[in-house]
């Protein structure tokens, strides 16, 4: 009998799988579901590529450069396969969904392609590929939420965890590929969310981040997002609760009031604006205006004065003029963002913008505008951090600082990173501290007596 071409669970060497994750928090959370599904089927998780019989790459398709990075990585795996020919490569996630079998046609290193709704079928497809037949499942689902699967936590701090509360997106922002890669919006059963959160708290976790593309439209058996947030916050006053992402069009006063009622719901709101120009927002199909957005900011400042606000911004969307760009800069100043993710517009195949508009802002103009946006945000972040100097804050310790063995780091409710002297603090401790100094990225604190 000839030796098996591929090594799998139960065979000599076992079936060890390794997973690499690109893209957003949703993808990080999905990778934890994938590990749970694979382990349940008998595969053994390894965090070392050198040991892997199966490499899974959880991919992102949001911008062209995200996909270019993956192609580069796949070329490297082709090299690894020359040394270990039995190794299988599986492309999963958003780029898998977008490109489907074309991935297998374009890169011979790829053996398996599975989209975000197909993870339960992954073990079977890996075995099929091990038998020599390339395997693809890119079906999207209207129901799949992986509700009852207990994700295997991959981040090792043991303090903070992501909890997925919904999947997909119905918003159809004209620039965005997500509705095509993740399908229609669906909410996860609230009871399974609560069970997961209670289990995490029982195991020592002290912070959960509830995840969805638009958490404000969560709805399961008449529990809306404010209702869900309240129930999660009630699991324990010692559990911090964050959530992401909020769509400004659905960001309600009811939600702000709920946050205000629970001190353990973190005073940090991520509210992607994308642009400060109502004309751009209309073309982007965001379904709010600059005025609506600023009204939401005013409501937050009024009802939750200690809240930090962060955002996402796109520079150089189709037809963007200098005036539109300046509207983004002035919106940034008015909102006083603590933090922002900032991107150059990247045209994505088959989106409404690609089909009906021209990507007509020259690359060098996009770059110049993005640079201005980044420079302004650095100023705003520094100002926001300087305002913390002299204040007393509560820090949830997450781990040792990378900078020095004598320091630990953690976060404030406002999601700002604080460096503290190590003393005998452990991950999961709450520490009252005085902020003594800052940069635009971090705060420096000393513990209070």
* CA gap 54, 51 in Å, rounded: 9
Phi and psi for 70 in degrees, rounded to 5? -70, -40
Q: Where are the alpha helices (DSSP H) in 164-314?
A: 178-182, 190-202, 225-233, 253-261, 278-283, 290-303
* CA gap 354, 362 in Å, rounded: 16
Nearer to ligand SF4, 245 or 414 (CB): 245
- The structure tokens 């270019």 sit at 68
Size of the site for ligand SAH (CB under 6 A): 17
Nearer to ligand F3S, 239 or 314 (CB): 314
Radius of gyration of the chain (CA): 23
Q: Does 370 bind ligand SAH (CB under 6 A)?
A: no
With CB under 6 A as the contact rule, the residue among 182, 240, 296, 325 that binds ligand F3S is 182
The CB-of-249 to ligand SAH minimum distance in angstroms stands at 10
The CB-of-274 to ligand SF4 minimum distance in angstroms stands at 7
| DSSP-assigned beta bridge partners for residue 417 | 411
Q: Does 25 bind ligand SAH (CB under 6 A)?
A: no
Q: Does 175 bind ligand SAH (CB under 6 A)?
A: yes
**8's torsion region: left (phi>0), alpha (psi -120 to 50) or beta?**
beta
Among the residue ranges 34-42, 178-186, 397-405, 423-431, the one whose residues contact ligand F3S (CB under 6 A): 178-186
Query: Can you state the angle between helices 290-303 and 322-335, rounded to 10 degrees?
Result: 10
**23's torsion region: left (phi>0), alpha (psi -120 to 50) or beta?**
left
Site for ligand SF4, residues 198 to 217, rule: CB under 6 A: 213-214
* CA gap 143, 186 in Å, rounded: 7
* CA gap 442, 317 in Å, rounded: 31
The CB-of-347 to ligand F3S minimum distance in angstroms stands at 14
Site for ligand SAH, residues 182 to 221, rule: CB under 6 A: 213-214
- The structure tokens 């305002």 sit at 387
Q: Does 14 bind ligand SAH (CB under 6 A)?
A: no
Closest residue by Cα to residue 236 from 213, 279, 203, 272 = 203
With CB under 6 A as the contact rule, the residue among 93, 123, 272, 427 that binds ligand SAH is 272
Q: Does 181 bind ligand F3S (CB under 6 A)?
A: yes
Site for ligand F3S, residues 353 to 382, rule: CB under 6 A: none
Given the rule CB under 6 A, which residues bind ligand F3S?
23-24, 26-27, 60-62, 93-94, 177-178, 181-182
Residues interacting with ligand SAH, by CB under 6 A? 62-63, 175-176, 178, 213-214, 245, 247, 272, 274, 312, 314, 343, 345-346, 348
């Amino acid at each position: 009998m000839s030796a098996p071409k591929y090594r799998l669970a139960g065979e000599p060497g076992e079936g060890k799988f390794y997973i690499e994750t690109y893209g957003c928090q949703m993808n990080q959370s999905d990778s934890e579901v994938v590990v749970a599904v694979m382990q349940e089927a008998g595969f053994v998780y390894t965090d070392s590529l050198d040991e892997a019989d199966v490499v899974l790459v959880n991919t992102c398709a949001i911008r062209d450069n995200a996909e270019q990075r993956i192609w580069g990585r796949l070329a490297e795996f082709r090299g690894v396969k020359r040394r270990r020919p039995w190794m299988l490569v599986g492309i999963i996630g958003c780029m898998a969904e977008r490109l489907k079998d074309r991935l297998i046609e374009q890169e011979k290193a790829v053996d398996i392609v599975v989209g975000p709704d197909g993870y339960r079928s992954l073990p079977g497809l890996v075995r099929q590929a091990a038998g020599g037949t390339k395997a693809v499942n890119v079906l999207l689902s209207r129901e799949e939420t992986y509700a009852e699967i207990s994700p295997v936590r991959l981040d090792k701090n043991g303090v903070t965890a992501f909890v997925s509360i919904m999947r997909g997106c119905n918003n159809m922002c004209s620039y965005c590929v997500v509705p095509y890669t993740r399908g229609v919006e669906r909410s996860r059963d609230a009871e399974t969310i609560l069970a997961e959160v209670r289990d995490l708290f029982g195991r020592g976790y002290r912070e959960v981040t509830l995840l969805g593309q638009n958490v404000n439209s969560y709805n399961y058996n008449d529990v809306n997002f404010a209702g869900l947030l309240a129930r999660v916050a009630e699991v324990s006053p010692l559990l911090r609760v964050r959530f992401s992402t909020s769509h400004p069009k659905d960001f309600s006063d009811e939600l702000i009031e709920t946050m205000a009622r629970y001190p353990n719901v973190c005073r940090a709101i991520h509210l992607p604006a994308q642009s400060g120009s109502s004309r751009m927002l209309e073309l982007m199909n965001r379904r709010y205006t600059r005025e609506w957005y600023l009204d939401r900011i005013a409501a937050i400042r009024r009802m939750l004065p200690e809240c930090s606000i962060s955002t996402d911004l796109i520079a150089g969307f189709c037809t963007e003029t200098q005036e539109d760009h300046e509207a983004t800069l002035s919106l940034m100043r008015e909102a006083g963002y603590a933090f922002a993710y900032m991107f150059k517009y990247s045209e994505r195949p088959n989106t409404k913008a690609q089909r009906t508009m021209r990507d007509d802002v020259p690359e060098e103009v996009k770059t110049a505008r993005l640079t201005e946006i980044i420079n302004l945000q650095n100023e705003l972040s520094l100002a926001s951090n300087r305002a913390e100097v002299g204040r007393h804050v509560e820090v949830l310790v997450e781990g040792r600082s990378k900078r020095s063995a004598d320091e630990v780091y953690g976060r404030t409710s406002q999601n700002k990173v604080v460096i503290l002297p190590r003393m005998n603090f452990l991950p999961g401790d709450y520490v009252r501290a005085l902020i003594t100094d800052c940069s635009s990225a971090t705060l420096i604190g000393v513990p209070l007596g």
